[in-house]
Structure 1
């Protein structure tokens, strides 16, 4: 089987998954209780007015006709018009992603920067003080919700110390560093639970590789404990860490719903929450579909990174 055929098969599989996912998203969201026209006009609106608005929004058409029309728009870049905001959904989502994507990237970098050294330190000397510190961090980070961490960060670093803004986002046009600074506390709130999980995974992976025969052979040949750790053990421990990180990135984006509301950030999470509460179906559908696309893209990136980390996987291709 040629490399080109494998890539074509993978692309076809991804398209099929997106098609099934889009259908499920559309049907489930459409079945949710509440009439968008009634929410927009209020319960006191006349029946003929409601009917006219439903016709204008296309809600009077059959389900599959609306689904196929939405799907055709997705492929052409026309995601429709928001019921609530009255603007194209594509521009609305693009504007909000300029907040959520940097926030997620910062949280991912922070989670990796904290968890990898902490997990390796814990695995290098099990049962010592460093291991106890990593275990405590993991337990607390997993137990405490990220929105509660965000509230504590606001109380400590925004209200008491006034080092950071309490909330809001000035916009990238008002200064790069000011906008970046407003994302620091939300990124920490998102990163801590993910770093706690990654720390535990890193510790377990490093300990497992440490007990392998090739590590004992390297130590028997005179390689120091530190060099064996960083030259052989840690690189061979990265596959489960990368797997967990690939699973966490979509959760970081979806977890931004609560954190963005806590910090009053105009991101994709806030948009999804507002659209859902206002029954803005077209926005909710496109946001959820975007999350599905991100999951597939992250999975593809994770598979590519596997091949970089493990030469055996490259040999199979």
Structure 2
């Protein structure tokens, strides 16, 4: 088990290094000069050259990459060109909004999808299965930002129950913060619930007629207890895989939803950095998103090994 873990960690580190190099190259090959964008077209060449030197943009690309990588290893993500503050502080501040939003959305998604998928499998080809399929197809087809707009129209414009957008900050209280994140969390959760419903249904269907489930029924357990106690845990691997992918998507893919609800999250920070050509912020945010995806895949692999001992035996 230790050797498996060490191999996975080594693969993770190499992947992160390669990804960081690709991100740096892509970001620095984008058209436009950050110094020119910051100073405008009327800036003199001397002022432009001075700002480029101050920002380190006059250094060769390999030197800038190594400086960026060294800073990351020391916990220094650099200084934002636009905001003039450390990028690590910006990411931490915005993550305080995006992370609770993603957690709320994933909890809602699981709460909707797993019971729905299990019941659809139990009533395979029945009316409930048909209705669950309609829910799944519709929720997958509808974009999250469009659901967000409908929620704003319904609960803010028409009913006036909630503010249309914005975030009061956690200093205003836990309830106020959760209320501000409720509509965007629903908008993010519904499409993911549709996907997870299909995965849970297929996984339970695959195992519900296995010998151990039939044995549980033969021992006198009801159909529902046999499925929830024996079939669902053994159908967990594809569900866990999808949960890992969904969580990273909810963190990295909330750009449009955060902009619809005017939330100061990581997605909005990435959008603002791109529009302002703030290279260092873009590099760090994209690297953070990429590292999150890689680490979540690593954790999902570990979860596989914990759930299914057969995988541990095959990986030796």
Question: Is TM-score (shorter-chain normalized) higher than 0.5?
Answer: yes
Q: After TM superposition, which residue ranges in structure 1, 4 or more long, deviate above 4 angstroms?
A: 314-317
CA contact (8 A) 1:147 1:262 kept: yes
Q: Which residue of 2 aligns with 1:264?
A: 262
**Distance in 2 of aligned mates of 1:135 and 1:100:** 30
Q: Which runs of 5+ in 2 are unaligned?
A: none
Answer yes or no: is the 8 Å Cα contact 1:250–1:295 preserved in 2.
yes
TM-score (norm 2): 0.95
**Match among 28, 31, 49 for residue 29 of structure 2:** 31
Deviation digits for residues 252-284 of structure 1 (CA, Å, limit 9, x no counterpart): 112211100000000000000000011000000
Deviations 1:54-79 (Å, cap 9, x if unpaired)?
Answer: 11111111001000000000010111
Within 5 A, what are the aligned runs for 1:1-317?
3-313=1-311
**TM-score after normalising by structure 1:** 0.95
Partners of 1:4 and 1:191 in 2: how far apart? 36
3-state DSSP of counterpart to 1:234: helix
Aligned length: 315
- Separation in 1, partners of 2:242, 2:71: 34
Runs of at least 5 residues in structure 1 that lack an aligned partner in the other structure: none
Partner of 1:183, secondary structure, is helix
SS in 1 for 2:253: helix
Write the deviation string for residues 38-89 of structure 1: whole angstroms up to 9, x where unpaired.
1101122222221111111111110010000000000101111100101111
Structure 2 Cα separation of the partners of residues 60 and 216 of structure 1: 70
RMSD over aligned Cα atoms = 1.5
- Deviation for aligned residue 1:94: 0.6
